[in-house]
Structure 1
Amino acid sequence: MVHPHQPGVVTAPEEFAVFAAFDLDADPAGVLRRLDERIAAVHRAGTATVTVAVGASLFDGRFGLAGAGPRLLTAMPAFPNDVLSADSCHGDLLLQIGATRAETAAAVLADLGKGLRRRWESAGFRKENTTTAAGRPSTRNLFGFREGAGNPDPADAGLMERLVWAGDGEPSWAAGGTYAVVRLIRFAVGLWSRDAPARQEEIVGRHRADGAPLAGGPEDAEFDYAADPDGALTSVDAHIRRANPRTPESEQHRILRRSYSYRRSEADQGLIFVCFQRDPELGFAAAQRRLAGEALDHYVLPFGGGYWFVPPTVTALAAVIPG
């Protein structure tokens, strides 16, 4: 069976985006129906791409939804190296709004968020929003390194069914949705810039100029670490190696990344890490546990975000909410 999917997951990322979480006080079905109508108008106008997701707290019993939530949806836990701020985490509802201009994304959020209690928000941009040689979305983060290589191909429908879209064991309304992880990560850009480029490349595991892996080959090269067990080419605590050790076992842990940089001030800038997967424990959490103790830990501080579920359509979720 072919399921519908919201935009903003496998569609090409916009150059700018804003993420905003809300706490609902009453009538979530009405809120979702009103949002669905307004979002449809935004999409018809072609001004922005809006993706709606819900947090585990929506199903806590306040609205008669206890037990009706996605099977694997939980609140995001704290991981090693996290310093989470309560006012920058979680929420009943998340809006991801992408546009070609930052002002457009902000204006759409202002309209859609009317009457809702905002918990947190973060605006992002994709510096040098391009594609890899294989045509996959890529960007350059504020540490100066390209991101996007190694991502599963969002144009491969079979691969997305296996890694991204939820199905077996989920409530019928959730089939064709996906689990999203959003992480707000502050970068120590000044500290990072004091390291020599060669040291930066050792920490990441890729060349800064073109994203080519230190293991050899072009940016999108298929490689493994079997010939480099001691880390002579790619350090054993390099980010690329910890995040995806490229073993047969780690294949099931792959996630679809769609991240944005943010900059609020020189002291507060970094990454809005965003990823989608069929199972957040098997995907993001498994990779996150491998990253504990990586060399990059010294330069990053995760402080917010959450786990979310992106329903296949907003109406699919609204239909199961009492009222």
Structure 2
Amino acid sequence: MLPDAPIGRRALLAGAAATAASVGAAACSAPRREPVAEQPPAGQPPAGQPAAGPVGPVVHQPGIVSPPLPAVVLTAYDATAADRPALTRALRELARSVPAAVVTVALGASLFDGRYGLSRPRLLTTMPEFPGDVLDPSWCHGDVLVQAAATDARALRLPAIPGLRQRWRIDGFHPRDRGAGVRNLFGFREGAGNPEAADPALMNDLVWVQPGDGEPAWCTGGSYLAVRLIRLAMSSWEREPRDEQEQVFGRDRDTGAPLGQGDVDYAADPDGRRIALDAHVRRANPGTAESQRHRILRRGWSYRRGEDAGQIFTCYQRDVERGFAAIQQRLTGEALAKYLLPFGGGYYFVPAADRLSLG
């Protein structure tokens, strides 16, 4: 748990460095293993959301472009399946494991270590530590990640799956006491400025892997997923006056609108008089032609675990380095950082639904 005063965060980071951070850096930044020869997948597609793909119809997995449901469970697994057919059976079982939920299955970099003869997605690596992170190895990565979302948390009961051993699990929700719309525990709207998920051409540009991307053929129509588990300094935040909170985000807390502007226009505010230069919204997307290339499709939930409260941040993109990682580097030094402590998550690849059968 973060200390009450934001200034204590730096001491927390220093104190944790000898334990969680130093171990986390080794465990959460494992060296990339070389992929083996590609074995194209085969089999019938499970139920999913059909969409026009770049080389014929592609069935994308559900739970990506659709609006996020209010309850979610993210569970990471280590694969214990004896061979590739057993792993295929486990993945198929995951995809249909919670009939009342929307289930999305993703694969971590560590799955592509030669055990199952799978060709690694070209850009899939382990998530590194970014400035300000204190990663806990027990909350990082996993061979497989399943996201199960529903309107009612009581529907989210994942059974044990032969061939998979749970690594970590976290339950998320959308707060109902923070105002209208989907909001985080800090009271601000989630998803402001998100690209339009209902635009197939835009999703092909930003989210879905294309045939010319240099990926193994089985990756076409999939997407890279970044997950961040972030502890929030709630007591420190709640002591801040509203106008200070709005300056930190750069948005009006009630409406989500940019401060002092109908639309974001940083050229008209070069000195940060209306939206501070270190405001979250300005750092996340400074509105340049280059930053438009870095857009991601964001989804978020809150979590509470006793006195520990925070944010489950997920995002989808065609290229995780061009997307999430580029944005994360821009956020270094933002005003919001002193209220955040990222401690877990990982990078994953989400195959198209008709590629979940590994052959």
Same fold by TM-score greater than 0.5: yes
Amino acid at match of 2:246: E
SS at match of 1:148: coil
Match of 2:349 among 294, 309, 314: 309
Q: 1:56 and 1:145 mapped to 2: Cα distance?
A: 33
Matches within 5 A, 1:165-204: 165-167=208-210, 168-204=213-249
- Per-residue CA shift, 1:38-63, capped at 9, x if unaligned? 63474xx5x11000000000011233
1:32, CA displacement in angstroms? 3.1
How many residues are paired up? Answer: 301
Q: For structure 2, which runs of at least 5 residues remain unmatched after alignment?
A: 1-54
Any residues of structure 2 matched to 1:141-152 within 5 Å, and which?
Answer: 141-152=184-195
1:261-289 Cα distance to aligned partner (Å, 9 max, x none): 101122x1110000000000000000000
For the pair 1:33 / 2:89, whether they are aligned, the reply is yes
Letter in 2 for 1:15: P
Q: Is the 8 A contact 2:90 2:161 kept in 1?
A: no
The 3 A distance-change label for structure 1 pair 41 and 120 is closer
Distance 1:19 1:29 in 2: 24
In 1, Cα distance between equivalents of 2:77 and 2:301: 20
Query: How many angstroms apart in 2 are the aligned matches of 1:59 and 1:36?
Result: 18
Give the match for residue 155 of structure 1. Answer: 198
Deviating more after overlay: 6-15 vs 20-29:
20-29
Residue 275 of structure 1 pairs with residue 330 of structure 2:
no
Can you list the C-alpha shifts for 1:225-254, whole angstroms capped at 9, x where unaligned?
Answer: 001111000000000000010111110000
Query: CA–CA distance in 1 between the matches of 2:253 and 2:185?
Result: 12
Whether contact under 8 Å (1:29, 1:318) holds in the other structure is no
Instruction: Return the alpha-carbon distance in structure 2 between the equivalents of residues 38 and 164 of structure 1.
Output: 23
- In the TM superposition, what is the alpha-carbon distance from 1:104 to its structure 2 partner? 0.9
SS at match of 2:237: helix
1:258 alignment partner, SS class: strand
Indicate if the aligned counterparts of 1:38 and 1:112 stay in contact, CA closer than 8 A. no
Picking from 73, 76, 80, the partner of 1:21 is 76
Q: Deviations over 1:147-171 (max 9, x none)?
A: 1110001000000000000122111
Contact 1:19 1:122 in 2 (8 A): yes
Q: Which residue of 2 aligns with 1:135?
A: none
- Does the C-alpha gap of structure 1 residues 128 and 212 become closer, same or farther in structure 2, counting only changes over 3 Å? farther
Q: Does 1:50 align with 2:127?
A: no
Query: 1:55-204, aligned counterparts within 5 Å?
Result: 55-65=108-118, 68-105=119-156, 107=157, 109=158, 111=159, 113=161, 116-128=164-176, 139-167=182-210, 168-204=213-249
TM-score, length of structure 1 as denominator length: 0.88
Given the superposition, is the C-alpha separation of residues 41 and 58 from structure 1 closer, same or farther in structure 2, using an over 3 Å criterion?
A: closer
Q: Deviations over 1:116-140 (max 9, x none)?
A: 211111100122599x9xxxxx511
Deviation of the 1:317 alpha carbon: 4.1
Q: Distance in 2 between matches of 1:143 and 1:253?
A: 25
Task: Give yes or no for contact 2:91–2:356 (8 Å, CA) kept in 1.
Answer: no
Q: Distance in 2 between matches of 1:174 and 1:16?
A: 28
Determine what percentage of the aligned residue pairs are the same residue. Answer: 56
C-alpha displacement at 1:195, in angstroms? 0.7
Question: How has the CA–CA distance of structure 1 residues 129 and 98 changed in structure 2, closer, same or farther, with 3 Å as cutoff?
Answer: farther
Alignment partner, residue 28 of structure 2: none
Separation in 1, partners of 2:133, 2:168:
18
SS in 1 for 2:169: strand
Secondary structure (helix, strand or coil) at the match of 1:146 reads coil
Asked if the contact 1:177/1:309 (under 8 Å) is kept, the reply is: yes
In structure 1, the gaps of 5 or more residues are 133-137
Distance of 2:206 and 2:120 partners within structure 1: 20
Alignment match, 2:52: none
Matched, 1:3 2:3: no
* Cα contact 1:35–1:112 (8 A) shared by 2: no
**Is the contact made by 2:209 and 2:222 (CA closer than 8 Å) also made in structure 1?**
yes
Question: Given residue 318 of structure 1, which amino acid in structure 2 is its aligned partner?
Answer: S
What RMSD in Å do the two structures reach over aligned CA positions? 2.0
Matched residue type, 2:173: F
Determine the C-alpha separation between the residues in 2 that align with 1:41 and 1:299.
36
SS in 2 for 1:160: helix
